[in-house]
Amino acid sequence: MVGSIDTLHHSLCSNGSIHNCNGLEEKLDELRRLLGKTDGDPLRIVSVGAGAWGSVFAALLQDSFGQFREKVQIRIWRRPGKTVDRATAEHLFEVINSREDVLRRLIRRCAYLKYVEARLGDRTLFADEILKDGFCLNMIDTPLCPLKVVTNLQEAVWDADIVVNGLPSTETREVFEEISNYWKERITVPIIISLSKGIEAALEPVPHIITPTQMINRATGVPIDNILYLGGPNIASEIYNKEYANARICGAEKWRKPLAKFLRQPHFIVWDNSDLVTHEVMGGLKNVYAIGAGMVAALTNESATSKSVYFAHCTSEMIFITHLLAEEPEKLAGPLLADTYVTLLKGRNAWYGQMLAKGELSRDMGDSISGKGMIQGVSAVGAFYELLSQSSLSVLHPEGNKPVAPVELCPILKTLYKILITREKSSQAILQALRDETLNDPRDRIEIAQSHAFYRPSLLGQP
């Protein structure tokens, strides 16, 4: 296992408590027993995908359990060949030299010189190379612990007991279809924890949403009871810096409760919930409206009044959509709004909206942005719009009492679609959507949803 055991032990027991370290080993032993692991056979955990959250998740596990190298093996897979540009290498060098602990660690590992050479332009660094030293390309300012990086997907996953999906939803299907080829001879069924937030829309046989856990289930044949979703109102870098955070792991009771216990840390509280699909869908929905929030913030010079007006409209649309997707949406109101709030404050989707509105990014640059990774909200805008524009899902419009597609009651979503997908409008259009005098009170939209039999289980692929 990569890294100093002494260093890891110090990070675990910085409060001087040996009991806490012993408690970690007990949690590990308990999970090993549930998975039928015998002495000499380590629990194999691999994170597939090395974006910010996937890398932080792997680093949290490594920091907590990496010292028990005979009992657990923690690895992360990422594609090889991704280069680090000169500007990023220069910034990385500054980050290294600003952190004495990181600087000393690299010098001890005889790895410091390559960062000096990269800063001077005499060497090209690769994303998988720096990840081994604890640097995620999408989160350079937050050094992690050293990680065991594998660039061969078959080597990474073929014998894994727990696979963490840290991929964007747009890449999940393709990668797990490849993984399924390596699992054809497996006797045991792995557990999969998906961190991915995003959806696809399918129109046949009826309009419905496809979530990352459903993609994984269809690609691999792993039973849905062995596939879980973990999400919550948090920012990856802040979690690694031990800001207090919470998350919720959703799925079948057999695995969600022991995994919640295993993953729980003093600064990272993990709860559990049986409602897998709707939590997963809401994790994708908040990214949609975060992009608009970033636009509003940039276009109004961070006006608190304008941002609050936007928040009222976007949350009413989210609640409206939630009523279509969830039988008891009031149970989701807290987690839904909390996850939305943090994403609007500091998420990459809000940042993307700001950069578009300021003209510092353009849609022609695509959805994968250097230093940030995949902007999931863009594809989610397209998916939700496509789904909710189907006439077969029509609802009564409050004015005229005539049936319309649900998207007609979601002006923010419609405007984002025209800005991001068809590109027929500029970012300024988001302000016009807020200022349209024909809009009803956002509260009216919520009352419409609550006063009709809106719930459509078919939208979640349920009978």
The pLDDT score that the predictor gives to residue 321 is 87
Q: Which of 286, 289, 291, 279 is nearest to 211 (CA)?
A: 279
- CA atoms of 354 and 352, how far apart (whole Å): 5
The pLDDT score that the predictor gives to residue 180 is 97
The pLDDT score that the predictor gives to residue 329 is 67
pLDDT digits (tens, 9 = 90+) for 25-46: 999 999 999 999 999 999 999 9
Amino acid at 369: I
**pLDDT exceeds 50 at position 1:** no
- CA atoms of 275 and 284, how far apart (whole Å): 15
Known catalytic residue: 132?
A: no
pLDDT digits (tens, 9 = 90+) for 46-64: 999 999 999 999 999 999 9
- CA atoms of 171 and 174, how far apart (whole Å): 6
Q: Which of 3, 11, 12 is nearest to 106 (CA)?
A: 3
**pLDDT band, very low/low/confident/very high, at 2 (cuts 50, 70, 90):** very low
When pLDDT is averaged across residues 325-347 and rounded to a whole number, the result is 74
The pLDDT score that the predictor gives to residue 456 is 80
**pLDDT band, very low/low/confident/very high, at 127 (cuts 50, 70, 90):** very high
For residue 11, give every residue at least 6 positions away whose Cβ sits within 8 Å of its Cβ, in sequence order, or none: 63, 145
The pLDDT score that the predictor gives to residue 16 is 37
pLDDT digits (tens, 9 = 90+) for 284-302: 888 999 999 999 999 999 9
Residue 201 host element (H or E): strand 200-202
**pLDDT band, very low/low/confident/very high, at 205 (cuts 50, 70, 90):** confident
More confident residue, 154 or 20: 154
| Dihedral sign from CA coordinates of 111, 116, 118, 122 | negative
**pLDDT band, very low/low/confident/very high, at 404 (cuts 50, 70, 90):** confident
More confident residue, 436 or 87: 87
- CA atoms of 458 and 463, how far apart (whole Å): 6
**pLDDT exceeds 60 at position 11:** no
When pLDDT is averaged across residues 130-149 and rounded to a whole number, the result is 96
**pLDDT band, very low/low/confident/very high, at 402 (cuts 50, 70, 90):** confident
The pLDDT score that the predictor gives to residue 94 is 97
Out of 114, 286, 372, 414, pick the active-site residue: 286
The pLDDT score that the predictor gives to residue 214 is 94
**pLDDT exceeds 60 at position 12:** no
**pLDDT exceeds 70 at position 148:** yes
More confident residue, 417 or 402: 417
Cα–Cα–Cα angle for 290, 292, 295, nearest 5°? 115
- CA atoms of 372 and 13, how far apart (whole Å): 32
The pLDDT score that the predictor gives to residue 369 is 85
Cα–Cα–Cα angle for 112, 116, 117, nearest 5°? 115
**pLDDT exceeds 70 at position 6:** no
- CA atoms of 154 and 186, how far apart (whole Å): 13
**pLDDT exceeds 50 at position 335:** yes
Q: Which of 383, 399, 393 is nearest to 454 (CA)?
A: 393
More confident residue, 460 or 285: 285
Token pair for 37: 């692991």
The pLDDT score that the predictor gives to residue 85 is 93
When pLDDT is averaged across residues 405-423 and rounded to a whole number, the result is 93
**pLDDT exceeds 70 at position 5:** no
Quote the percentage of the chain above a pLDDT of 70: 91
- CA atoms of 362 and 353, how far apart (whole Å): 10
- CA atoms of 210 and 203, how far apart (whole Å): 10
All domains of the chain, ordered by start, with CATH?
20-81+148-200+210-274 (3.40.50.720), 86-125 (no CATH), 282-460 (1.10.1040.10)
Token pair for 289: 């409206």
The pLDDT score that the predictor gives to residue 438 is 61
Q: How many helices (H) and strands (E) does the chain have?
A: 20, 16
Beta strands in 55-94 (DSSP E): 72-77, 83-84
Q: Which residues pair with 126 in a beta bridge?
A: 83
Instruction: Write the burial class of residue 196 (CB in 10 Å: 0-12 exposed, 13-18 middle, 19+ buried).
Output: buried
pLDDT digits (tens, 9 = 90+) for 235-280: 899 999 999 998 999 999 999 999 999 999 999 999 998 888 878 8
Q: Which of 42, 53, 18 is nearest to 235 (CA)?
A: 53
When pLDDT is averaged across residues 423-444 and rounded to a whole number, the result is 82
